[in-house]
Amino acid sequence: MIKSTTVIIIILLGATNICGQELTADQIIQKVDNLMNQETVYGKMKMTIVTTSGAKRTFEYESWSKDWGEKNLVRYTDPPRVKDQAILMLNNADDIWAYFPRTNRVRKLATHAKKQKMQGSDFTYEDMGSGDAFITNFTAKRLGDEKMEGYDCYKIELTKKKDVNSYYSRIIMWVIKENFVPVVLDYYDEDDPDRLLKRLVQYDIKEIDGVPTGMKMVMYNKEDNTQTSMEMVEVKYNVPIKDEMFTERGLRK
Amino acid sequence: MIYDFRITILDFEFKYSKRSLFSCYLIFILIALLMLPASGFGQKVEIFGYFEPQLMGAKIKNEFYQLSSNKLRVDLQFKPSDKVAFGANFDYITYHGKTQWDILEFLPKSVIDEAANPSFLGIDFNPYVLPFDDRQFLDNAYLKLSFKYADFTVGKQQLSMGTGYVWNPTDVFNQKDMIDPTYEQPGHNALRLDMPFGSGFGLTTIYAPTEDWDYSDVLLKLKGRFSHFDLSILGIQKHWKFTDARLFDPIFMNFIQRDTKRQILGADIVGELLGLGVWAEYAFNDVKIDDEMDKYLLALERFSPPHLSIIRLPSMEIPKNYYEFVAGMDYTFDFQTYVMCEYYRNTLAKSDYKKYNLNDWMQLLSAEKKAISQDQLYLFIQHPATDLINVGGSAIISISDNSFALVPMMTYNVFENVDLNLFLNFYFGKEGTAYAKNLGNGGMVRARIYF
């Protein structure tokens, strides 16, 4: 009896010690990365672009992701102008292929294509499918804690590592302490680290299949004064997705 | 302006167009499918497409000519399961304005003398007039069956090969429009088998039957992936006709054509080098000429009136072999500007513009040749001026004869499903060169409404 009580006390003390420990920036980013890159993800998205003139353009697409974000496939379903156009990104978006149904051509794109806007939106392809880029491409540093969008958050600065191909010099990220959702991300210019280019905000955070998920995210373009919202019409985590999906054959389907 | 004709001429193949009954069949199929929604079958059928009005203008010899067209394309897709897909599309195009173009008006004076002057029942007529007649046709109609290890597609389908942007030496089925290389290509009747091996490898075989079994088109392509590069090797046999535009056959009322069999060994590669997108494509062509036409010409000569004397002209030049090579690179700057350049060499074409003859020009326009000048360069730049407007342009340069064309362009997404494209074309070469001033400066406005 004395022995078992001692064990419980030791466990409780240990747990208290862990809870009280301050997480490092790397640990926080690792948790963010684990949250964002589930083993597989299927989603149906609705993207709405609001231009400087106030005109709106809406796109709908399906996306499949596998191997913790290492493989991604995006296929547009609407409007008819872009229907069935698809983008395949492998090796954390180091290999990209685009499929154009009107010409029945698959074209391999170089990684510089990640800088291009996705259908003229405020999201670049780099924003969409870079797998664990936060860890591999950036060095993390904690900037203290702040309240953001009503949540208690860790404030993290990510600075681009040398010889990394990224559109951004640094990213400031506010991570919700409770669930490690990066609720706000500020993206800074590659050449001028003080020039804020864009801000991404996640709204309506819900738990889907046990994963806290922002059901809507909005990218505010601070330079052009435009914005693009991305709404999750449907999302499923850790569902079976065949490897065949992430091939040229899958791209053309 | 003259380069705008190329695709249209390709469809005519110097013959009077025959309106296909396929259109009637397709309309029947469309109606039948639309009548079936209650059965559940119709619910899986997707019908979409676009309407595309277009206005083309060109200044030729102080005259300004206009040609407008209206194209309706209806696409149909039916996927009853993951393993079966049916796709088809029907095109209806009407032409208005100047619908008769005399090709000789565009060509240099030095080659016009070679043109034939045929007459029928004592009346002279000009076989070099290109008519833009209204057309309706079934562009694609195919059935795709997907098995565990292969996809099998049968019917009229788009066949696109190669990694080049403007020129594709290994694409023996299509000829791209240099003004707008991304415009959709026509369907080809073929059987296609794609067998993927793993994630990056695969084998493609294509069989496109023609009238004569011996001349049917066959393609074999092996594709692989190494590091960040995709590459493929190809073996192709293609029936190829060379038109002798100097000789007009009074019996068949058509230009004399020589049948040849091209055997092609090709390869292509695409990937990334030092942050730049890079690609290259090569094809070696071995040409075998069918001598049946010689016998026909002899017979024609024997029974023709003496003034025709068509075979007294020197034989048409057809090389025994030649090669084509393309290399290109592209880059996107941080400020979103996209630049690209592509170099093209075709040894079927000539390096001295003074040697271009009537056949060279006509074979270029009929897509029998991909180039008239041996070495060319294509430069392209595009920048998103706003969220909805892209501006840019291309320069097409003939290194061989020092002529070039500039093509400023703009695309504007006017409304959700409405695109507007503007292309201008200006030529700056000496008369007789590939991009000579007399080819007709002009432009094109094209709207496209998707549904």
DSSP single-letter state for residue A248: H
Give B416 to chain A, closest Cα distance, Å.
6
Residue B61 has pLDDT above 90, yes or no: no
Task: Tell me the pLDDT tens digit for each residue of B171-193.
Answer: 999 988 888 899 999 999 999 99
Residue A48 has pLDDT above 60, yes or no: yes
Query: Across all residues in chain B, what is the average pLDDT?
Result: 86
Contacting A residues, span 64-123, partner chain B, CB-CB under 8 Å? 79-81, 83, 90, 94-95, 100, 102-105, 107-113, 115-117, 120-121
Q: What is the pLDDT of residue B16?
A: 37
**Residues 6 or more apart in contact with residue B412 via CB below 8 angstroms:** B388, B389, B390, B419, B420, B421, B422
Nearest to B310 by CA among B246, B361, B260: B246
The band of B12, judged by pLDDT with boundaries at 50, 70 and 90, is very low
C-alpha to C-alpha distance for B221 and A177, rounded to whole angstroms: 54
Tell me what the mean pLDDT of segment B315-331 comes to: 91
Say yes or no for a CB contact (<8 Å) between B387 and A51. Answer: yes
C-alpha to C-alpha distance for A62 and B231, rounded to whole angstroms: 29
Q: Using CB atoms, which residue from A58, A108, A117 is nearest to B336?
A: A117
Q: How far is CA B78 from CA A76, A242, A250, in A?
A: 18, 23, 18
User: A58 CB near a chain B CB, below 8 Å?
Assistant: yes
Q: What is the pLDDT of residue A207?
A: 93
Residue B293 has pLDDT above 60, yes or no: yes
**Residues 6 or more apart in contact with residue B60 via CB below 8 angstroms:** B1, B105, B106, B438, B440
Task: Find the closest chain A residue to B382 by CA distance.
Answer: A116
Residue B117 has pLDDT above 80, yes or no: no
- Residues of A within 8 A of B419 (CB-CB) are 81
Lowest mean per-residue pLDDT among A40-49, A148-157, B211-220: B211-220
Q: What is the pLDDT of residue B281?
A: 98
Q: A75 with A82: CB under 8 angstroms?
A: no
The band of B312, judged by pLDDT with boundaries at 50, 70 and 90, is low
Task: Find the closest chain B residue to A226 by CA distance.
Answer: B387
Residue A15 has pLDDT above 70, yes or no: no
Q: A49 with A228: CB under 8 angstroms?
A: yes
Q: Using CB atoms, which residue from A79, A94, A120 is nearest to B417?
A: A79
Q: Is the ipTM of this complex over 0.90?
A: no
Q: B400 with A67: CB under 8 angstroms?
A: no
Task: Find the closest chain B residue to A116 by CA distance.
Answer: B336
Q: What is the pLDDT of residue B38?
A: 47
Say yes or no for a CB contact (<8 Å) between B158 and A103. Answer: yes
DSSP string, A171-199: EEEEEETTT--EEEEEEEESS-TT-EEEE
**Residues 6 or more apart in contact with residue B137 via CB below 8 angstroms:** B19, B20, B22, B23, B90, B91
Q: What is the pLDDT of residue B15?
A: 40
Most confident of A228-242, B16-30, B203-217: A228-242
DSSP string, B131-194: E---EEEEEEEEEEEE-SS-EEEEEEE-----S-SS--TT--S----SSSTTSPPPPEEEEEEE
Say yes or no for a CB contact (<8 Å) between B388 and A55. Answer: yes
C-alpha to C-alpha distance for B344 and B376, rounded to whole angstroms: 5
Task: Tell me the pLDDT tens digit for each residue of B155-165.
Answer: 999 999 999 99
The band of A6, judged by pLDDT with boundaries at 50, 70 and 90, is very low
Lowest mean per-residue pLDDT among A21-25, A69-73, A163-167: A163-167
Per the document, the length of chain A is: 253
**Residues 6 or more apart in contact with residue B9 via CB below 8 angstroms:** B130, B365, B366, B367
Residue A44 has pLDDT above 90, yes or no: yes
Percent of chain B, pLDDT > 70?
86
Query: Which of A71, A99, A107, A166 to probe the B interface (max B CBs under 10 A)?
Result: A107
Task: Tell me the pLDDT tens digit for each residue of B210-269.
Answer: 888 888 999 999 999 998 899 999 999 999 888 888 887 777 778 888 888 999 999 999
Residue B350 has pLDDT above 90, yes or no: yes
Give B337 to chain A, closest Cα distance, Å.
9
In angstroms, how far is the first alpha carbon of chain A from the final one?
A: 65
The band of B439, judged by pLDDT with boundaries at 50, 70 and 90, is confident
One-letter amino acid at B412 equals: Y
**C-beta pairs of B248-256 under 8 Å, 24+ apart in sequence:** B248/B116, B248/B118, B248/B127, B248/B310, B249/B300, B250/B118, B250/B120, B250/B304, B250/B308, B251/B300, B253/B120, B254/B14, B254/B15, B255/B14, B255/B116, B255/B127, B255/B362, B256/B293, B256/B297, B256/B310
Say yes or no for a CB contact (<8 Å) between A81 and B419. Answer: yes
Q: What is the pLDDT of residue B4?
A: 57
Residue B21 has pLDDT above 50, yes or no: no
Q: What is the pLDDT of residue A213?
A: 94
One-letter amino acid at A37 equals: N
Task: Find the closest chain B residue to A118 by CA distance.
Answer: B387
Residue with the larger pLDDT of the pair B54 and A52: B54
Strand partners, B220: B205, B235
- Residues of A within 8 A of B332 (CB-CB) are 112-113, 115-116
Most confident of A19-28, A121-130, B285-294, B424-433: B424-433
Residue with the larger pLDDT of the pair A36 and B280: B280
Say yes or no for a CB contact (<8 Å) between B275 and A49. Answer: no
**pTM of the full structure:** 0.85
Q: What is the pLDDT of residue A7?
A: 46
> Residue B239 CB: number of other CB atoms within 10 A?
18
Tell me what the mean pLDDT of segment B195-214 comes to: 90
Task: Find the closest chain B residue to A243 by CA distance.
Answer: B199
Say yes or no for a CB contact (<8 Å) between A113 and B277. Answer: yes
Q: What is the pLDDT of residue B44?
A: 77
The band of A60, judged by pLDDT with boundaries at 50, 70 and 90, is very high
Tell me what the mean pLDDT of segment B139-144 comes to: 96
How many A/B residue pairs have CB atoms within 8 Å? Answer: 103
User: A206 CB near a chain B CB, below 8 Å?
Assistant: no
Say yes or no for a CB contact (<8 Å) between B157 and A104. Answer: yes
Percent of chain B, pLDDT > 90?
58
Query: Across all residues in chain A, what is the average pLDDT?
Result: 87
The band of B116, judged by pLDDT with boundaries at 50, 70 and 90, is confident
Q: Using CB atoms, which residue from B159, B386, B451 is nearest to A51?
A: B386
User: A55 CB near a chain B CB, below 8 Å?
Assistant: yes
Lowest mean per-residue pLDDT among A179-183, A205-209, A247-251, B436-440: B436-440
Q: B255 with B245: CB under 8 angstroms?
A: yes
Q: What is the pLDDT of residue B34?
A: 55
Q: What is the pLDDT of residue B2?
A: 57
Q: Using CB atoms, which residue from B228, B417, B451 is nearest to A94?
A: B228
Task: Find the closest chain A residue to B73 by CA distance.
Answer: A102
Q: Using CB atoms, which residue from B157, B387, B451 is nearest to A120?
A: B387
* Burial (0-12, 13-18, 19+ Cβ within 10 Å), B399: middle
C-alpha to C-alpha distance for B162 and B269, rounded to whole angstroms: 8
User: A52 CB near a chain B CB, below 8 Å?
Assistant: yes
C-alpha to C-alpha distance for B365 and A239, rounded to whole angstroms: 54
C-alpha to C-alpha distance for B286 and B263, rounded to whole angstroms: 5
Q: Using CB atoms, which residue from A104, A165, A190 is nearest to B160?
A: A104
**Residues 6 or more apart in contact with residue B26 via CB below 8 angstroms:** B88, B90, B138, B141
Tokens read off for B97: 């304005």
Task: Tell me the pLDDT tens digit for each residue of B146-156.
Answer: 998 999 999 99
Tell me what the mean pLDDT of segment A196-215 comes to: 94
Task: Find the closest chain B residue to A54 by CA distance.
Answer: B387
Give B280 to chain A, closest Cα distance, Å.
12
C-alpha to C-alpha distance for B100 and B128, rounded to whole angstroms: 10
* Burial (0-12, 13-18, 19+ Cβ within 10 Å), B16: exposed
- Residues of B within 8 A of A53 (CB-CB) are 386
Q: What is the pLDDT of residue B18?
A: 40
Residue with the larger pLDDT of the pair A141 and B249: A141
Say yes or no for a CB contact (<8 Å) between B271 and A108. Answer: yes
Q: Using CB atoms, which residue from B160, B332, B387 is nearest to A112?
A: B332
Q: Using CB atoms, which residue from A53, A81, A103 is nearest to B450?
A: A81
Give B355 to chain A, closest Cα distance, Å.
35
Query: Which of B144, B183, B332 to probe the A interface (max A CBs under 10 A)?
Result: B332
Nearest to B246 by CA among B173, B332, B309, B294: B309
- Residues of A within 8 A of B387 (CB-CB) are 49, 51-52, 57, 120-121, 224, 226
C-alpha to C-alpha distance for A192 and A184, rounded to whole angstroms: 20
**Residues 6 or more apart in contact with residue B360 via CB below 8 angstroms:** B111, B349, B350, B369, B372
Strand partners, B229: B226
Residue with the larger pLDDT of the pair A188 and B291: A188
> Residue A76 CB: number of other CB atoms within 10 A?
22
C-alpha to C-alpha distance for A69 and A92, rounded to whole angstroms: 7
